[in-house]
Amino acid sequence: MVGAVQGQRRRVHSAQFKAQVVRACTPGVSVAAVALAHGLNANLVRRWLRDYEAGSTGAVALKTAQLPASAFVPVQLESATPAAAHIRLELHRGAATVVVSWPAQEAAACGRWLHEWLG
């Protein structure tokens, strides 16, 4: 195998697992989000979807696996960094420059203030 690190092997996934992942890819759901939620590469999930839609041999096992459809895939988001917890505005008016740092939780108040300032 070219490019593979010695000692590494490809993972093998069961037909039931593949069916679960394919069924999670309902319209309006991001394939990348489904892949991330299952610890997979999005290209692999797209290949499973193509196989399923084309009715290839692997897709027969996917179609026969009896699993409930899933419309929601929870995705764990990383917590915001301290720098991202603030809105930073750099405003130029004539020769004057004003830099404002506003707490992100108060975005509506920031918008009102900015609207009044630009008035």
Helix runs in the chain, H state only:
15-24, 31-37, 42-54, 57-64, 107-118
User: Can you read off the two tokens belonging to residue 106?
Assistant: 């108060």
CA–CA separation, 19 vs 45, rounded Å? 10
Segment 26-51, tens digit of pLDDT: 777 888 888 888 889 999 999 988 88
Please count the other Cβ atoms lying within 10 Å of the Cβ belonging to residue 13.
Answer: 15
Q: Does pLDDT of 73 surpass 50? A: yes
Helix (H, G, I), strand (E, B) or coil at 65: coil
Residue 8 token pair: 């590494």
More confident residue, 114 or 105: 105
Asked if pLDDT for residue 56 goes beyond 60, the answer is yes
